[in-house]
């Protein structure tokens, strides 16, 4: 693996390898000294053109736990606000010797451009591009599912996952559908028709607008709630649903729907949450919620991704010590 741009870059063996390595990384994180020497002398640049809390800090923690040097770049307060382009920003950072570039950008496809236009020699990791993909989020979700529902060393065969909400604007949904399908899970998307992307019929999943039917008849092993992405809706002129109250009534996970779920069903959310809109406090804070755990698992998964991209590459270099 040279870059991680899409969940589709991983075949089943590749995805299982990331999850297995992430388990090994997680085991090292239970030790008193969490830092490993693996990426000493390597530089990871976090290039964030869009706001982020968990993804950026998670990549930073992952790189630091592997002893890489980390350069954090965020567009706010940088020359990007003076109009500098992705290309010039990338070339500047390349001159500082980036071995990996973790990029989040509001434009779908920006990480692909970075990887293929020759602006960096480093490995490119997509940390969320527009409404397109967010592969490491899908990996940490799969990791979380596997920990709860399957023994290690396997995929997610037959696991039923229902993903609910603003699919249209969600890079998390797209990457999850691709990766979960690769791992053998069965995915159902639930959304109002206005919040489904064009071409969703071709995705490897079922699609419905009836949440109650999906939950009661589908008996999912996990329900993944998506954030209502108000900032992207406003940018598009709004009008995606009649009111917040109506959205919550039809697509929110609240007390009644929570109580009707099978006992073992997990409640997931990538964060940040709109409490009271797509998910109630009861659901978010319930014993079956994995929301905080997902964040913690993100560090181990991103350690695995950086390790597989960078340490592997070094092993191929003649004379390079692993
Ligand atoms: C997601 C994102 O930024 O794509 N958040 C995250 O990475 N944990 C989902 C969202 O913003 O709703």
Mean pLDDT by 10 residues, the chain (322 residues): 96 97 96 95 94 94 98 79 80 89 95 92 96 98 95 82 98 98 97 97 98 96 98 94 96 97 97 98 98 98 98 50 39
How far is ligand 1, taken at its centre, from the CA of residue 314, in Å?
A: 31
Residue of 137, 138, 163, 168 to test ligand 1 pocket, by largest number of atoms within 8 Å of CB: 137
Residue 57's contacts (CB-CB under 8 Å, 6 or more residues apart) are none
pLDDT at residue 319, rounded to an integer:
38
Residue 235 and residue 141 share a domain: yes
Give domain status of residue 319, yes or no.
no
Q: Is there a single domain that holds both residue 170 and residue 307?
A: no
Number of domains in the chain: 2
In a domain, 189, yes or no: yes
Same domain for 263 and 150: yes
Q: Residue 104 CA: which ligand 1 atom is closest? A: 3
Does residue 72 sit in the same domain as residue 105? yes
Query: In the prediction, which pLDDT does 165 show?
Result: 98
Determine the atom of ligand 1 nearest the C-alpha atom of 54. Answer: 8
In a domain, 2, yes or no: no
Q: How far is the CA of 272 from the centre of ligand 1 (A)?
A: 7
Q: Is residue 211 part of a domain?
A: yes
Strand partners, 268: 224
What is the Å distance from ligand 1's center to 271 Cα? 6
Ligand 1 site, CB within 6 A: 54-55, 128, 134, 137, 171-172, 227, 229, 270-271
CB 34 within 8 A of CB 65: yes
Cβ atoms 286, 267 nearer than 8 A: yes
For residues 92 and 67, the answer to whether their CB atoms sit within 8 Å is no
> Are 23 and 302 in contact, with CB atoms under 8 Å apart?
no
Q: Could you please report the per-residue DSSP string of 206-256?
A: EEES-HHHHHHHH--SEEEE----HHHHHHTTS-SSS-HHHHHHHH-B-HH
| DSSP designation for 109 | T
The answer to whether residues 95 and 205 belong to one domain is: no
CATH number of residue 57's parent domain: 3.40.50.1370
* pLDDT value at residue 320: 38
Ligand 1 centroid–CA 180 distance in Å is 18
Number of H helices, E strands in the chain: 12, 9
Ligand 1 mean position to 176 CA, how many Å?
A: 12
The pTM score is 0.94
Residue 277 near residue 228, CB atoms below 8 Å:
yes
Residue 72 within a domain: yes
| DSSP symbol at 190 | E
Residues 50 and 86 in one domain: yes
For residue 210, CA distances in Å to 80, 162, 168, 252 come to 43, 12, 16, 12
Our mutation pick for probing the ligand 1 site, out of 7, 52, 104, 134, counting the most ligand atoms within 8 A of Cβ, is 134
Atom of ligand 1 nearest to the CA of 169: 12
pLDDT at residue number 124 = 97
Which helix (H) or strand (E) element contains residue 44? Answer: strand 43-48
Burial of 263 (0-12, 13-18, 19+ CB in 10 A): exposed
Domain span holding position 226 = 135-294
The predicted structure's pLDDT at residue 118? 87
Q: Are residues 145 and 268 in the same domain?
A: yes
Count of all residues that appear for the chain in the document: 322
- How many angstroms separate the CA atoms of 79 and 46, rounded? 15
């Amino acid at each position: 693996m040279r870059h991680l741009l899409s969940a589709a870059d991983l075949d089943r063996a590749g995805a299982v390898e990331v999850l297995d390595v992430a388990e090994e990384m997680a085991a090292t994180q239970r030790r008193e000294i969490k830092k490993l020497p693996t990426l000493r002398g390597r530089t990871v640049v976090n290039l964030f053109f869009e706001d982020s809390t968990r993804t950026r800090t998670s990549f930073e923690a992952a790189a630091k736990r592997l002893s890489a040097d980390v350069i954090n770049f965020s567009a706010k307060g940088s020359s990007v606000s003076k109009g500098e382009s992705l290309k010039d920003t990338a070339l500047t950072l390349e001159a500082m010797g980036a071995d990996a570039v973790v990029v989040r950008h509001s434009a779908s496809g920006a990480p692909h451009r970075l990887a293929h236009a020759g602006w960096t020699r480093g490995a490119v990791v997509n940390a969320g591009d527009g409404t397109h993909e967010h592969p490491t989020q899908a990996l940490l979700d799969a990791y979380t599912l596997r920990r709860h529902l399957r023994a290690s060393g396997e995929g997610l065969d037959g696991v039923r996952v229902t993903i609910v909400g603003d699919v249209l604007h969600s890079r998390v949904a797209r990457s999850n559908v691709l990766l979960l399908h690769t791992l053998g899970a069965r995915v159902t998307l639930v959304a109002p028709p206005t919040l489904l992307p064009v071409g969703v019929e071709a995705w490897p999943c079922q699609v419905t607008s009836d949440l109650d039917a999906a939950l009661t008849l589908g008996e999912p092993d996990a329900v993944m709630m998506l954030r209502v992405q108000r900032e992207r809706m406003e940018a598009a002129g709004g009008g995606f649903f009649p009111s917040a109250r109506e959205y919550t009534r039809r697509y929110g996970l609240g007390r009644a729907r929570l109580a009707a779920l099978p006992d073992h069903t997990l409640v997931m959310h990538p964060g940040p949450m709109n409490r009271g809109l797509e998910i109630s406090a009861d659901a978010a804070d319930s014993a079956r919620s994995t929301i905080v755990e997902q964040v913690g698992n993100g560090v181990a998964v991103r350690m695995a991704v950086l390790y597989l991209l960078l340490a592997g590459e070094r092993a191929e270099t003649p004379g390079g010590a692993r």
